[in-house]
Homo-oligomer: A and B are copies of this chain.
Amino acid sequence: MSSFKGNALRGTFFLIFGLGWSVKYPLKYLRYSASYPHLEGKNMICICLYCLGMLAEQFVPDGPHMGLYSGGTYSWEKLTNWQYTTMYLFYGLSGIVDVLSYSPLKLSLGLDRLLLSVAMFTEGFLFCFHDYNNTALDQHLHSLLLIAIFGGALCALMEVFLRDHTILEFFRTSFFILQGSWFWQIGFVLSPPWGGPGWDQTDRGNFNFLTMCFFWHYAAALLVTAANSVFSYWYVVGRGLLENKRSD
């Protein structure tokens, strides 16, 4: 599933989280005294999403179907799918800790952000050490993605120590949206949905354009995050839902 559908699935996955956070954090910021009985349920949905991701990577028609080593050919099977399964596994672990942090277990504050950071660093290192065997454009696209991944991972790591920091949450949200839209871009570049081959892997112009394009995606991600913040603010304030005005 290194084809268009796989990248679209991953992109959608990150976009859901990014866009969800871009609404959740401004709301949290505006009504921080309200109780959240429904949030645990939302986190359960997240964990289901991670599980769906893992199952999709494993059981698509050309997936490994839980087979890791082929005794016949003495070779590893469908390692790319397994790597994405590993990626979803770590996001799943972070989701479980997220749910537990609302439970009466009294976890150390910040453990949820630490696990999120670990999940993103794991994703980043998996891409770093991935073997792109001579598909230079493929490698270039994922190198750019690393900026978004490690950027987000560093944000989450800093949030362990600087909890509920508005700027860090804004920054991390924008990196998630960037990651989501860039996975879609990767899908369109490497295996267009309308068939035909991907872009020319040897044309240096493609490399330069995609570098620039990545930062246009980021400008768009920043605008979307900002627009959602403003929209959430106006929605709450305009409808008189605001209970506690921010006091800093």
Residues on A facing B (Cβ under 8 Å):
68, 75-76, 79, 82-83, 86, 89-90, 93, 106, 108-111, 114-115, 118, 122, 125-126, 129-131, 133, 140, 143-144, 147, 160-162, 166-167, 170-171, 203-209, 211-212, 215-216, 218-219, 222, 246, 248
Query: With A114-B167, A171-B114, A215-B90 known to touch, is A204 a contact of B131 (CB < 8 Å)?
Result: yes
The smallest beta-carbon distance between A83 and chain B, in angstroms, is 6
Query: With A167-B111, A171-B114 known to touch, is A86 a contact of B205 (CB < 8 Å)?
Result: no
Query: With A125-B215, A215-B90, A222-B93 known to touch, is A108 a contact of B208 (CB < 8 Å)?
Result: no
Residues of B close to A76: CB separation below 8 A: 205-206, 208-209
20 A-B pairs (CB sep. < 8 Å): A75-B203, A79-B208, A79-B209, A79-B212, A86-B216, A90-B215, A106-B246, A108-B166, A109-B248, A110-B167, A111-B167, A111-B170, A114-B171, A118-B218, A118-B222, A122-B215, A125-B211, A126-B212, A133-B204, A161-B162
The DSSP consensus for interface residues of chain A is helix
